[in-house]
Amino acid sequence: MLLIAAVSFSGCALGTLQTATTIPEGKVSMFLAATALAVSDIETSTPIPEMGFRMGLSDNIDVGIRLFRLGFMGDIKIALIQNRREGLSLAVTAGVGYSIIGDDASFVAVDLGGIVSIKLGKIITPYLSVKFRSFGFDATGSDDFINNFSGEFIVAGLGFELFPESSVSIILEASKFYDTDGNEAKGLTLVSGGLNFKF
């Protein structure tokens, strides 16, 4: 149960739930989402709720914060290639998060990654995200857990934003954890979905 509790601190932060396109300068978006986790030899968790906000700092840079249970994660996204109407967009991201897990455990996560998305008109924008994640744990009585999930991982995700030009869009994503040697990390898989509100 500690494993599920710990990885659930990230929710969307474990995945991405966003395309490469940034929020326009001065605009704000909010999302409500849920993520289900599956780990080898552990039943799939109850969907974990989360919420987040993003704000455009310039036409190519936005920042966001995600809130989940007893944790948070902040990040910045910088668009290197951006096509708001149609076509390819590419962005790099960086973030840091912290969570308290029960009475005797907490941890910090640091992310560096990238997102590529292709807007296909007004109906759908598929995207691919890849991020490098480093976990640092402070936990007592959980040696097996720390050995399994402390360290560095690659998180790869494939998702879709439906109705991207609408004031309310739908985002669906599946993500997988891999260790730095390219092997599946204890079978950790995520399935996420949510609503994105744009103001």
Q: What is the pTM of this model?
A: 0.85
> Average pLDDT in the 10-35 region?
84
Q: Work out the average pLDDT over 76-104.
A: 89
Specify the 3-state DSSP secondary structure of 2.
Answer: helix
Which uninterrupted H or E stretch holds 51? Answer: strand 48-58
Residue-wise pLDDT for 91-141, tens only, equals 999 999 887 766 666 778 889 999 999 999 899 999 999 999 887 666 555
CA distance 14 to 16: 7
Q: Provide the domain count of the chain.
A: 1
Domain encompassing residue 132? 2-198
Check: CB of residue 123 under 8 Å from CB of residue 107: no
CATH of the domain at 148: 2.40.128
Averaged pLDDT score across all residues of the chain:
83
Question: Using one digit for the tens of pLDDT, what is the confidence trace for 166-187?
Answer: 999 999 999 988 877 766 666 6
**Model pLDDT, residue 10:** 43
